[in-house]
Structure 1
């Protein structure tokens, strides 16, 4: 299930200055992240009995923490377009564990992720606390998972998932899997839901391997985190929000998936490695490992 194209980039040796940066950035990052998590959980004790499934306050804490995390790392964030205000969800390409901070910093959303992520150290704890929707790929649980998915959407939660199904080297976009798009075509949702495609583009630090921020294959999370913390200079990340589309304007999940994939690819830099071919959008022709 994990993308394994090509060799992993060289890890590089972390010198004394690098370990100093790891200690400084890592300490501040841990304090901000877990301090924000403690505040979020405390506020949720009040928010839950008053608002139930709705979370009017805690997503603001998540967004502030993620913006602070990017500043601590030194990774500059820029955005084009605006997150939609309509009821629905977003889909994005997936390059790294950094997408969690990047996409939460750019908008207030809830991720859709595979169930195994809930058990991951560090990432799993954050995911559970921030309202991530966990799904199982087992066929016998598909109906129950779809009902959970629909319930969250009906509550007005803005969900975000990764249709590629796995993270990459940050230099390509894999073909979108259309399975999760099916949930939007239920009778309860298809007439009111909108979907917004989002493109995430990482630019490596000057002089580094262009795959610097990508996380794929057998890469260990801890070592990748150390590499990012130790970097003397950081790169930048762009988030492009494309125009949202109404689900009911499409004939089915495959047409909607193809349209979203095409828009996500349109904004991706043409100087990257050759991308895997994606299907053309019928709508346009007519005018969530790392494994998610």
Structure 2
């Protein structure tokens, strides 16, 4: 059954892409901002069983989103919720179809480990800021979320100094009781994780909690520390 369920979902995703790609192309030919990548991501998340719950108010422009990272599902959920583009590994851009879809969503590709190219990467991120949210997963990899992994602040140099009017919004991603099944941890091969998520039975609640935006100040390390503090605080049970 998991294999059959995964096959059905892949076919449904393919049909969704075939239906929306021409509409996206028409919007771009008309030189209009295309809503279709966001709509595709939102519909794809639902096809995979996610029932989105949003807490707080997502900022729609002039914002860098810093979020914890549980799974590749995070991209579908965040992109579908607020139209965010993402900072991703360079090899993703070379992956057939996935790379094409990522470019349609204004993904910024960086080469991990390329210390000589850091300045160019920072410039690319800085150039993308403004029209739509830019999301960064500062943990640099996926995990269970408990505890948060250390935040890597290197890419946040794009906010030092911050462009005028730009803010940072910390976001906590939570899959509730389904986290253990959906989180990508322990160096699990990507194909194995994808099969497991695609073949999972039933739906789950995916919560995106958007904290109040804050002005980036004090340099990249201070920005990373403040975002991490806010995400940790959102994970705490409310005080009675």
Runs of 5+ consecutive residues of structure 1 not aligned to the other structure: 1-16, 48-55, 271-292
Q: Is the 8 A contact 1:77 1:236 kept in 2?
A: yes
Instruction: Label 1:41 to 1:215 Cα distance change in 2 as closer, same or farther (>3 A).
Output: farther
Residue 142 of structure 2 corresponds to residue 142 of structure 1: no
- Bigger mean CA offset, 126-135 vs 115-124: 115-124
CA RMSD of superposed structures (Å): 2.1
Q: Report the Cα offset of residue 95 of structure 1.
A: 0.9
- Structure 2 unaligned spans of 5+: none
Match of 1:156 in 2: 131
1:25 aligns with 2:9: yes
TM-score normalised by structure 2 residue count:
0.88
> Match for residue 85 of structure 2?
110
The partner residue of 2:193 within 211, 221, 224 is 224
Runs of 4+ aligned structure 1 residues displaced above 4 Å come to none
Q: 1:202 aligns with which of 161, 175, 187?
A: 175
Q: Provide Cα deviations, 1:138-186, integer angstroms capped at 9, x if missing partner.
A: 2222222222222211x53321111111111344311111111111113
Question: Structure 2 CA distance, aligned partners of 1:170 and 1:256?
Answer: 19
**Matching residue of 1:12:** none
CA offset at residue 101 of structure 1? 0.7
TM-score of the two chains, using structure 1 as the length reference = 0.73
- Greater gyration radius: 1
Q: Does 1:91 align with 2:66?
A: yes
CA gap of 1:211–1:144, structure 2 versus 1, over 3 A, is same
Counterpart position of 2:229: 262
Whole-angstrom distance in 2 between the partners of 1:160 and 1:259: 16
Distance 2:150 2:39 in 1: 32
- In the other structure, the counterpart of 2:182 is 213
Distance 1:269 1:221, change over 3 A: farther
Task: Tell me, in whole angstroms, the C-alpha distance in 1 between the residues paired with 2:140 and 2:214.
Answer: 22
